[in-house]
Chain A
């Protein structure tokens, strides 16, 4: 359920795009440095966004690094910094518990895959949980509450979304006071948006397999083609969340990442919502983000 939070690259200035890519690569290198290959394998855009939001210093340092996709030419990446360390640890913890969740839920070949993922992430998780015990217990508690709600087949959309949103909002807890509240609200509503958008995206699969889907349950859907008014109310509730996230975002101190984070909130997320609701959303690949070519502006 990751990778929903991306900028619209064609609307970024080139220097901001290069910076964003440096942050993406920086997080990848940080994951590699701390958690090895298993860490790198779970890199995703959402945690790049998180590390940019957690950035408190006015600027960031850069260094040149080699990696597998950039074997022949060193790439400019963000040097290791506290927000990257935090985001890397959090993403390992979340990925591990998601895999554990899958292990409990799935049967057959999928169960085998989940088991392999747990094993693959096991050592990295132990290290990350030791470094971030608060986030670890938070994730555990939230995901347990979430699976309880799922098992109870709860009819509300907000109740499960609330748990996932709180899971993400916890990441704000280390920030300083006035901006902590704003960051918390921002992360809460981004988390809520991700959860609901992901539920909509999985609607077809979940209905086919008969597993719990909060959107299907809330609007009593039985087929993937939701009526227009259902789509409209999902759109409205997502838009309100984005508005509240944006209002909170404006109260955060300005950092060097502002052009990118601004783009994500005002353009990237609304675009994602449109794509998801129209059924044209495509999950991002595992490649280093590339600048869009001329004439290919996503229209």
Chain B
């Protein structure tokens, strides 16, 4: 078995706090949310498992072999599209296409999609998912956009559209800050919020 300390990237002499911090940092990096619909989701899941095991091993051994239970992160990889009851009303071929896309069988999925007679919202959504898996992000966005336009109330379609728009960057490693002004809560925002709150409290007197 690999050295659990090496997996977490820390030395054997690290304090409990350091272990926890390293674990949290890595868990954030490989969190399933960062790999939604990513063709590499399975690799990230394996990595997550490895990290969880390493953390468990360390905490257990530090408690002198006591049964420390699993303190690890237990977020599920509910991979891809559920394709469940909600979609049964639609074309039965769609369920097949969904599972083909999830399994990474993109050629087959494309064939099925091409042979579909109707071009409804879900068809556009599936086409977008197919292109997203291929890495054709611009085409994927056009299809997601069309799906949302046809059925604006569908949360799944809207989520896919916002994902491919690249606004929700999953995880930024380096702390230097991105070059462009991107939104976020920094110290200034907090100060301003405090000042506003203070003024309002004063005004209520």
Chain A contacts to B: CB under 8 angstroms: 11, 156-159, 161-162, 165, 178, 181-182, 185, 188-189, 192, 218, 233, 235-244, 246-248, 250-251, 254, 262-263, 266-267, 270-271, 274
A250 vs B169: C-alpha distance in the bound complex, in angstroms?
Answer: 14
Chain A residue at minimum C-beta to C-beta distance from B39: A185
Residue in A181, A247, A270 whose beta carbon sits within 8 Å of that of B35 in the complex = A247
- Contact A240 to B180, CB < 8 A, known contacts A181-B40, A182-B40, A182-B43: no
Chain B residue at minimum C-beta to C-beta distance from A215: B138
Q: Is the CB of B38 within 8 A of A244?
A: yes
Report the minimal beta-carbon distance from B132 to chain A, rounded to whole angstroms. Answer: 9
Decide if B95 is an interface residue (CB 8 Å cutoff).
no
In the complex, which of the residues B9, B30, B135, B165 has the most CB atoms of chain A within 10 Å of its own CB atom? B135
Residue in B44, B47, B141 whose beta carbon sits within 8 Å of that of A236 in the complex = B141
Residue in A156, A189, A250 whose beta carbon sits within 8 Å of that of B139 in the complex = A156
The 4 closest A-B pairs by CB, nearest first: A239-B166, A240-B166, A158-B136, A236-B166
A250: which B residues are within 8 A, CB to CB? 29-30, 44, 171, 173
Report the minimal beta-carbon distance from A31 to chain B, rounded to whole angstroms. Answer: 30
Decide if B123 is an interface residue (CB 8 Å cutoff).
no
Chain B residue at minimum C-beta to C-beta distance from A186: B40
B164: which A residues are within 8 A, CB to CB? 236, 240
Q: Is the CB of A262 within 8 A of B174?
A: yes
Which residues of B (137-153) have their CB < 8 Å from a CB of A? Answer: 137-139, 141
Decide if B74 is an interface residue (CB 8 Å cutoff).
no
Decide if B57 is an interface residue (CB 8 Å cutoff).
no
- Contact A247 to B38, CB < 8 A, known contacts A178-B43, A270-B178, A274-B180: yes
